[in-house]
Amino acid sequence: MAKLYIKIYPNPVLRKKARHVGKLGDDERKLAYGMIEAMRSASGVGLAAPQVGISKRIIVVENVDNDKKAALVLINPRITRKKGNVNFCEGCLSLPGISSDVARPEFITVEALNLDGDILKINADGLLARIIQHETDHLDGILFIDKIGFLKRRKIIKQLGAKVCMKF
C-alpha cells in the first residue's frame, strides 16, 4: 500500500460516516499496518481510517497500558458500556495544534474484530478509554471539537481558518 497521509480539517471525509467492514482481507491488513505507520510518524496515539481518506470502520490505537510497542487494531468497534465522566485535554492529528478539554466516560467496554477476524472485548479506562472513544467518534464523522462549547468551537474553527458549517 502506498504511504498514507492524514487528512486535515475541514476535509469533508472527516465528516462522513465510515462503512462497516464486511469481509477481512489483505486490503484491510495493509490499511491497518499503513495506519499504524502514519500514526507513529505523526507522533499520535490513535488514528481512524477516515483520517487517511478511507471510509472503513477501522481504528488503530497505541496500547498505552502496555509496555510493549504494540498497537491495537479494532475493526467495526462498538462501545457497549460507558461509566463515569472525566474531563481531559484532547488533540487530534487532523486538527494540528488544537487542543481542548473534553468530557468523556472514564470506563468503557468496546467490542471489535482483530485482523484475524476474532472478536475482541476490551475493558478500558483512563487514556486508553479516551483514545478508543476519540477514534470511534471519527468513524461517525464526529470530531472532538463537536464535544466542546459553541463559543470555544467557533473560536477554534476561526483559528483554523475554516469556512465550513459546524456539526451539532
SS3 23: coil
- Looking at the 3D structure of the chain, how many domains does it have? 1
Q: What is the pLDDT of residues 104-113, one digit of tens each?
A: 999 999 999 9
| pLDDT at position 123 | 97
- Give the whole-angstrom CA distance, residue 80 versus residue 165: 30
Backbone angles phi and psi of 79, in degrees to 5? -80, 120
Residue 7: inside a domain: no
Active site residue 135: yes
Per annotation, catalytic residue among 28, 62, 90, 135: 135
Q: What is the pLDDT of residues 107-165, one digit of tens each?
A: 999 999 999 999 999 999 999 999 999 999 999 999 999 999 998 888 888 887 754 44
Q: 69: which residues sit within 8 A by CB, 6+ positions away? A: none
- Give the range of the structural domain holding residue 95, as residue numbers without chain letter: 12-160
Domain of 154, CATH number, reads: 3.90.45.10
Which band of pLDDT confidence, cut at 50, 70 and 90, is reported for residue 166? Answer: very low
Residue 1: inside a domain: no
SS3 168: coil
- Give the whole-angstrom CA distance, residue 79 versus residue 77: 7
